Structure 1
Amino acid sequence: MPTSPAPTDLRQEPPLKRPSVLRDTAFLRLWSGTTASGLATWALPFVLGLAVLDRSLTPAGLGLVLAARTAGFLVAVAVGGVLADRHSRRAVVLWSALAAAVAAPLLAAGLGRSLPLMAAAAALAGAGQGACRPAFQALTAEVVDAGRRQQANAAMTLAVRVSALAGPALTALLAVVLDIAALLLGIGLLWLVAALVPGRGVTGAPAPSAERASFRAEFMEGIREARRHPWFVAGLAALTAVIATGYSATGVALPLISRDRYGSEVVLAAATTAYTVGALAGALLIARWRPRAQGRAALAGLAAYGVAPLSLMLPVHPAVVVAAYAVAGIGIELFNVPWFTATQREVEPGKLARVSSLDFMLSYGLAPVGLALIAPAIGAFGAAPVLGACALICFLVPALAALVPTSRHFSRAAPAERAADGGR
């Protein structure tokens, strides 16, 4: 006769509470490296702008150098995605960050002496930046378990926003005691931190393959993996549309409107600061908030960027413009953090870097196109119609993306399956 189970066997064990990701040494090392790379990426155009003020670089030269960096980024982000899925993500981070570190002294050597050398060094810096981005995304999925990735991604974006907020003042202070060449070498040191500090991942690393397909075949395999997730295709289309229109329109129109309508640069500075502060608030909120329909909530946050160009259309009080930019900042992080987390959760681990590279290629790649087209459009049609069209696109395209069935949760799986897998 079978015995009855003991009473303790009938009780359901309480779920284990995961420790904060901020107490995880492996994550903190990865966070430090990612933060250093983000700060170095932000600092380069700012320092080169100081070089223009210092007359060691012409405005035309600045444009050429920044264009070379963008070209290097776009080429290397695709290559880096394939390499990070073929080999160790840690190794790709190491060598790409070292390439960017080597570019810094070359930029310093060419400053005021050789514009071609500076352009080549900027392309190398952009290549290092582009190659490490998908590798960092995939490495996060290896270092952090699924249940803590949203918190981890929020911590990453918080570091980026704090750098953007405090970086200009810090760089300006350093420029008082250091020349431009020394600041460029400091950027190289940041890239060395990004190269050397992160550790190896412990889970989810791509399995080695006995036979390797061609580079093109592996890249196309990443595209097929992305298309297997309709929510990803829809969300990426929405993100690209918002960056190419709303972000570009406000980047071009805000300085002009601040000067011509409000008579000073105060509105420009206040709105830019409000956007960063709003993004900080959004990252803090989404670190713990789990909406029931997370994908649609994220797309609603993305659509909120439309209030920024909308606020610039009419002669409203400057406080309205500042508040609109704060709302846009909150919304962009309500999208970014769940977006990165869902990609790390849903995409097959061995193809994660390639899918992430598609994200960066389209969203970053079309931004310069938008910036180049917005100014002529404003000149031809006027600011109000262009800003209105951009605001409409920002509202409409994310709303259409939200209608894709799998966009509700940024997942092809049912909620119960995601919960069982630790994704919630």
Structure 2
Amino acid sequence: MTAPTPTASDTPHPRSILRERRFIRLWCGTTASGLATWALPFILGLAVLDRTLTAAGLGVVLATRTAGFLVAVPISGVLADRYSRRAVVLWAGLAGALASPVIALGLGRSVLLMSLAAAVVGAGQGACRPAFQALTAEVVDADRRQPANAAITLAVRVTTLAAPTATALLAVVLNTWTLLVGTGLLWLLAALLPPQGLRAPAPTADRAPPLKEFGEGVREARRHPWFLAGLAALAAVIFTGYSATGVALPLISRDRYGTEAVLAGALTAYTVGALIGAVLMARWKPRAQGWAALVGLALYGFAPLSLLLPVHPAVVFAAYALAGLGIELFNVPWFTATQREVEPRLLARVSSLDFLISYGLAPVGLAFLAPAIDAFGWQPVLAACALVCFLAPAAAALVPSSRGFSRQERK
């Protein structure tokens, strides 16, 4: 008699990633850095409201933070591959912890001092990102990286809701100076909580000049056609769809609907959709992961599409919920595939290339969209944004290795 084929319920499940102490430490450190990152703009916004910081000063401080982030990302990718990833996280978190009180010290006194400190905080944020990405691959075994990445991205989405809410509640009993110092404590947790990875630093004799080492990471990225195609699609969506969210949505909410409630509702719907997507991707592993991820990325096109015509606000909310859902359908397999496919000793450099291009194009797109709207009008620009969001992932899907985000396609 033939033995019955085991079903999914008969197969023993591996221990939940949420029961692993080392991963919980990593998750808490990542969450702390996310809370500090998202809280800072809202705290500085409160400083504008109580007139200890001007709107122009706010713009300068946030711009220097972004500049610090972009400068640090490629450098930290090299350092995280050259030395211990845990050490890079430690020093990046300590930089944020030390610089945050300096921002508070400059509040109401010197925008220059605040800007310099904000650049250091941004550099710490930029250094953390590729190091955390590579450290995850060291702390979590390959079979459980997808749920691990889903748990991390879930934390990121929760912080986007929790940080402004917590900031507003704490502002009732604490002043802006104390809140800024509090972000330094969060950076300290981000520095101290993550566990040590398993990878030994590269031998000193193998170290080349930093620029050459970063170039080695770029060459590694070029070995993976699915990565280049997916990164190009992601950059196109961020350049257009994200810009529509950042520039067009607030203006349309005010001018077409006469209330900021549409802006708040759309952003909340986006976050809720992203939370649902992260929960879904913790367990769902589609056969063609790459194609499923690119379909999810294309869903962002519904966001600018919903702003084209004077539709009911519920349609806008639904479109942004779809966009949020889709971005996590893309993010989780994307991070997991990068950790699986890229040579481990080059992982931080390839991840830094990812963050540099995707995050680097965001402010460029924001600066480009407003003049484009003035020159061509709302509808042509939003239609073009939606079209790019739909077509860029479709073009990436034509690359043969994009089906499973792997050079050796899985059947």
Q: CA deviation at 1:263?
A: 1.2
Partner of 2:38, secondary structure, is helix
| 1:308 aligned onto 2:303 | yes
Question: What is the distance in 1 between the residues matched to 2:386 and 2:262?
Answer: 20
Given candidates 103, 108, 111, the residue that maps to 1:107 is 103
Q: TM-score, normalised to structure 2's length?
A: 0.96
Q: Which residue of 2 aligns with 1:74?
A: 70
Q: Which residue of 1 aligns with 2:363?
A: 368
Runs of 4+, deviation exceeding 4 Å: 204-207
Q: Which residue of 2 aligns with 1:8?
A: none
Q: CA deviation at 1:208?
A: 2.8
Answer whether contact 2:403 2:409 (CA < 8 A) is retained.
no
Question: What is the distance in 2 between the residues matched to 1:318 and 1:225?
Answer: 45
Q: Which residue of 1 aligns with 2:138?
A: 142
Answer whether contact 2:38 2:164 (CA < 8 A) is retained.
no
Answer whether contact 2:32 2:187 (CA < 8 A) is retained.
yes
Q: CA deviation at 1:167?
A: 2.3
| Letter of the structure 2 residue corresponding to residue 36 of structure 1 | A
Mapping for residues 387-402 of structure 1, pairs under 5 Å: 387-402=382-397
Structure 1 unaligned segments of length 5 or more: list them. Answer: 1-13, 417-424
Deviations 1:229-261 (A, max 9, x none): 000000000001101111111211111111111
Answer whether contact 2:274 2:324 (CA < 8 A) is retained.
yes
Distance 1:347 1:206, change over 3 A: farther
Partner of 1:19, secondary structure, is coil
| Letter of the structure 1 residue corresponding to residue 45 of structure 2 | G
Mapping for residues 140-289 of structure 1, pairs under 5 Å: 140-202=136-198, 204-205=199-200, 207-289=202-284
Deviations 1:328-381 (A, max 9, x none): 000000000000000000000000000000010000011001001111111111
Answer whether contact 1:205 1:350 (CA < 8 A) is retained.
no
Given candidates 336, 344, 358, the residue that maps to 1:341 is 336
Partner of 1:176, secondary structure, is coil
Distance 1:69 1:15, change over 3 A: same
Mapping for residues 317-328 of structure 1, pairs under 5 Å: 317-328=312-323
Q: Which residue of 1 aligns with 2:3?
A: none
Partner of 1:112, secondary structure, is coil
Question: What is the distance in 1 between the residues matched to 2:320 and 2:203?
Answer: 46
Q: Which residue of 2 aligns with 1:294?
A: 289
Q: Which residue of 2 aligns with 1:95?
A: 91
Answer whether contact 1:206 1:350 (CA < 8 A) is retained.
no
Partner of 1:31, secondary structure, is helix
Q: Which residue of 1 aligns with 2:405?
A: 410
Structure 2 unaligned segments of length 5 or more: list them. Answer: 1-9
- Which is greater in Rg? 1
Partner of 1:313, secondary structure, is coil
| Letter of the structure 2 residue corresponding to residue 265 of structure 1 | E
| 1:84 aligned onto 2:88 | no
Question: What is the distance in 2 between the residues matched to 1:117 and 1:304?
Answer: 42
Distance 1:230 1:209, change over 3 A: farther
Q: CA deviation at 1:45?
A: 1.0
Question: What is the distance in 2 between the residues matched to 1:169 and 1:45?
Answer: 13
Q: Which residue of 1 aligns with 2:118?
A: 122
Question: What is the distance in 1 between the residues matched to 2:174 and 2:371?
Answer: 38
Q: CA deviation at 1:315?
A: 0.7
Partner of 1:314, secondary structure, is coil
| Letter of the structure 1 residue corresponding to residue 178 of structure 2 | A
Question: What is the distance in 1 between the residues matched to 2:218 and 2:200?
Answer: 20
Mapping for residues 17-28 of structure 1, pairs under 5 Å: 17-28=13-24
| Letter of the structure 2 residue corresponding to residue 125 of structure 1 | V
Distance 1:187 1:415, change over 3 A: same
Name whichever of 323-332 and 251-260 sits farther off. 251-260
Partner of 1:237, secondary structure, is helix
Given candidates 57, 61, 71, the residue that maps to 1:61 is 57
| 1:381 aligned onto 2:368 | no
Mapping for residues 40-59 of structure 1, pairs under 5 Å: 40-59=36-55
Answer whether contact 1:241 1:393 (CA < 8 A) is retained.
yes
Q: CA deviation at 1:58?
A: 0.7
Distance 1:351 1:255, change over 3 A: same
Q: TM-score, normalised to structure 1's length?
A: 0.93
Q: Which residue of 2 aligns with 1:331?
A: 326
Q: Which residue of 2 aligns with 1:33?
A: 29
Instruction: Give RMSD over aligned pairs.
Output: 1.3
Partner of 1:328, secondary structure, is helix
Q: CA deviation at 1:17?
A: 3.3
- Count of residue pairs the alignment pairs up: 403
Question: What is the distance in 2 between the residues matched to 1:217 and 1:269?
Answer: 45
Answer whether contact 2:102 2:117 (CA < 8 A) is retained.
yes
Deviations 1:144-174 (A, max 9, x none): 0000000000000111111112222211010
Question: What is the distance in 2 between the residues matched to 1:303 and 1:55?
Answer: 42
